[in-house]
Structure 1
Amino acid sequence: MTVNDDSFTNWKNREEIAESMIPIIGKLHRERDVTVLLHSRSLVNKSVVSILKTHRFARQIAGEELSVTETLPFLQALTALDLGPSQIDIGMLAATYKSDDRGLSVAEFTAEAVAGATGANKLEGGAGRDVVLYGFGRIGRLVARLLIEKAGSGNGLRLRAIVVRGGGEADLVKRASLLRRDSIHGQFQGTITVDEESSTIFANGNAIKVIYANDPSEVDYTAYGIKDAILIDNTGKWRDREGLSKHLRPGIDKVVLTAPGKGDVPNIVHGVNHDTIKPDEQILSCASCTTNAIVPPLKAMDDEYGVLRGHVETVHSFTNDQNLLDNYHKADRRGRSAPLNMVITETGAASAVAKALPDLKAPITGSSIRVPVPDVSIAILSLRLGRETSREEVLDYLREVSLHSPLKRQIDFTTAPDAVSMDFVGSRHASIVDAGATKVDGDNAILYLWYDNEFGYSCQVIRVVQHVSGVEYPTYPAPAV
């Protein structure tokens, strides 16, 4: 048999193993509300090839490829346990098992590692929490996709309604079509139908009422059976407490803004300061996509090295706020054609750092350039550190943070030498450290941080909503503190 034959036979064997994993992953998700991860990447509803690619990607962050033959036994061991709602990382189980020298079997080790999610310790699935989307643009539709994807057993977040302004004839059909097809993020994974008579979109069995209103005061949510809901405002029209309080009507319990909040509205970056949210806080902001991209690595660097000062330059994809062709715009430069120009503009991300990281005393400045790409941006974070270090030490540290720290869902890591922006479309992390571009000279470090300013940010929004709703399930094995 030739080397080529061996390689192909090996591939077919791995395909067969990955295929056997799919029903196990699906059943755990549907029946027990367990999300199976591989190095923080969900394997739920993934194809055979996607599962194999996710295993192969482990070499980018862990240094070596992870085989399905290594992870399957851990997945099988989970089926024998009395699991409650949780997220379980079989990649981390496999990695930590390798370094364990106690001679435990896979079943014994797995049972110990996820003990917090089993038996008397397990969480009991609740009745779920209603969610309303106010606005259905780029972020609104991606948040909708994520909510539908994460419906799981039905005990978590439930997208009940979308509030939009009326758009004329066939409005519902057109909005459903935009949810079904996306030029950047591809086709919706599932089925979508509409019932115009009841003004309802059905997405993977989820009935989503489309409510038409020009102002929050026009909506009676209780008339649709909505109660104690979390409303996600995707319009950005109201950004202070007074304006956002308009949403606090019967049926709505909390308001989450997908833009930087003003005044005393808390700006939350999940993974960094979400645990500071007061239980009785009804209004909060998820800050901006750029703030979410830079704050987690900034915190990581400050924790290890200390940060004396910094500057962030964002090279940002154009947004819907800009013009396709030169035309009037109230802001400077943004009236010039977005697909044809690099456009210098301001960013509030640097000043927003203080809200998310109040203990960081270092001054952080920032500026931004909009460029002719539709999605994925890069933040160039230049830091003066509290001590001298080396490029190798910084990269080893950030790789470890991306794998094992509480920030592993926020910070990703890539060593791909040919990585470009489109490679990160669909990334669920707040930002991705580009190892090849990293510069370190004594106490100066420059980090290049890719981020999907649409999808990665939407994932951060969902994490905040899960946290305030009480359905943010714990992850096992628990990350190192």
Structure 2
Amino acid sequence: MRIAINGMGRIGRLLFRRLVMMPGVELVAVNDIMELHQLAYLLRYDSVYGPATFEIAVENNELIAAGQTIRFLHEPAPAKLPWKALQVDLVLECTGKFLTKALASQHLEAGAGNVILSTTGAEDIPLRIYGFNQHQLNGDKHLISPGGCMTNCSTHLIYLMQSIGIESVHINVLHSYTSRQELVDGPHKDLRRGRAAAESIIPVSVDLGQSLERLFVLLKGCIYTITTRVPVANGALANFVFQMKEAVTAAQVNELFKQAAKREYKDIIQYTEDPLVSLDIKGNSHSAIIDGSLTTVTGRTVNLMAFFDNEYGYTSRVIDWVRFVGAGKL
């Protein structure tokens, strides 16, 4: 399968590192507005995951990585990209800019066979969470959103808790700072995002609730979400407070997730009772690592905690989608 990546930010670069080592995949091109020598440097060295485990070189206008020759493009307009000439089967749209059907479809118009966003798109793009509703594809099946890291963590947990019975859920994701925050205090339309990310605990509003209501229509108006950015470069801990329809026990909740992690959600959910901290889940491929030692119940209120690597766990689900496309299931 011939793949191209549009946008070489955190997710694009981590996908690059993983895809060049993936059997059955040919990474034919990457596109970004940064200069090629800058991209090569950022692929070689990463402050979170360390140096690349393979050689990365630049020859002419191409990257040489893990024995593959990958064309570098420097085109801001997707409609002008040479996907038809390069016979690109799948574009991973990782800029975070082309989020509507009209904008993302430019890749299809340029000749790509399929497009997968690296985030939650607009409502006119199908929202499909791997392991939950990936088979519910309609006429727009060549353009999909796999959600974001927080959506992939939350969806499976809400679905499983629904099997017991939910009235409402409040979610606070303690999340590492991101590139959409400032390194030092500066102007920002979201005033809190403009504060120095590595110096404060910063509450930030997110669209997670709207995304989850698209997936769980019966819970519309019953989901509240916020993220609290903390001064670490990677990792997240999601705190779910479920109001249940009936009384449950912590043991009952933990057993639900313990069994799911062994069976239908293997490789997506992990269950542990080890005393983890966020650094322990760096490089973990699961979307949610349930810490059963932190599960508490008061009456009909359940407090559930789940770690996840917001970059590696999320790119693992994107790679699941790559395999899904490669198997001809779209």
- TM-score w.r.t. the length of structure 2 is 0.94
Structure 1 residues 379, 444: CA separation in 2 closer, same or farther (over 3 Å shift)?
same
Task: Determine if contact 1:391/1:441 at 8 Å carries over to the other structure.
Answer: no
Q: Distance in 2 between matches of 1:205 and 1:404?
A: 37
2:177–2:197 CA contact under 8 A, matched in 1: yes
Q: Is 1:227 aligned with 2:95?
A: no
Deviation at 1:243, TM superposition (A): 1.3
Aligned residues: percent identity? 29
Aligned pair 1:216/2:78, yes or no? yes
Whether 2:30 is the aligned partner of 1:162: answer yes
Matches within 5 A, 1:84-103: none
Opposite residue 289 of structure 1, the aligned amino acid is C
1:185 aligns with 2:185: no
Structure having the larger proportion of residues in helix: 1
Q: Is contact 1:315–1:371 with CA below 8 Å preserved after alignment?
A: yes
| Corresponding residue for residue 6 of structure 2 | 134
Alignment of 1:276-355 (within 5 A): 276-278=136-138, 281-303=141-163, 305-355=164-214
State the shift of 1:368 in Å: 1.6
Query: What number of residue pairs does the alignment pair up?
Result: 329
Give the superposition deviation at 1:310. 0.7
1:307 positional shift? 1.4
- Deviation of 1:471 after TM superposition, in Å, equals 6.1
Local SS of the residue matching 2:193: coil
Contact kept, 8 Å, 2:175 with 2:229, in 1: the verdict is yes
Give the Cα–Cα distance (whole angstroms) in 2 for the partners of residues 436 and 289 of structure 1.
23
Alpha carbons 1:307, 1:362 under 8 Å: kept? no
Are residues 244 and 280 of structure 1, via their aligned partners in 2, closer, same or farther at CA, if it must alter by over 3 Å? closer
Unaligned 5+ segments in structure 1 are: 1-128, 473-481
Separation in 1, partners of 2:213, 2:99 = 18
Amino acid in structure 2 at the alignment position of 1:148: V
Alpha-carbon separation, structure 2, partners of 1:217 and 1:352: 28
1:204 aligns with 2:79: no
What is the aligned counterpart of 1:465 among 319, 322, 328?
A: 322
> Equivalents in 1 of 2:159, 2:219: separation in Å?
8
Contact 2:81 2:110 in 1 (8 A): no
Rounded to whole Å, the distance in 1 between the matches of 2:221 and 2:194 is: 34
Q: Deviation digits for residues 453-472 of structure 1, max 9, x if unmatched?
A: 11111111121232233268
One-letter code aligned to 2:74: Y
The amino acid of 2:234's aligned partner reads D
What is the TM-score with the length of structure 1 in the denominator?
Answer: 0.65
Shift of 1:280: 5.3
Name the aligned partner's letter for residue 458 of structure 1.
Answer: T
Distance 1:254 1:276 in 2: 16
For residues 356 and 186 of structure 1, the distance between their equivalents in structure 2, rounded to whole angstroms, comes to 36
Larger Rg: 1
Partners of 1:310 and 1:362 within 8 A in 2: no
C-alpha contact (below 8 Å) 1:310/1:365 kept by paired residues: yes
Matching residue of 2:302: 445
Q: Is residue 2:224 matched to residue 1:356?
A: no
The residue that corresponds to 2:260 in the other structure is: 401
Amino acid at match of 1:209: R
In structure 2, the gaps of 5 or more residues are none
Whether contact under 8 Å (1:146, 1:459) holds in the other structure is no
Distance 2:136 2:216 in 1: 11
Task: Provide the rounded CA distance (Å) in 1 between the counterparts of 2:6 and 2:325.
Answer: 18
C-alpha displacement of 1:382? 0.6
Aligned-residue Cα RMSD (Å) equals 1.8
Q: Does 1:392 align with 2:256?
A: no
Classify the secondary structure of the residue corresponding to 2:121.
coil
Deviation at 1:251, TM superposition (A): 3.0
**Aligned to 2:241, which of 382, 401, 425?**
382
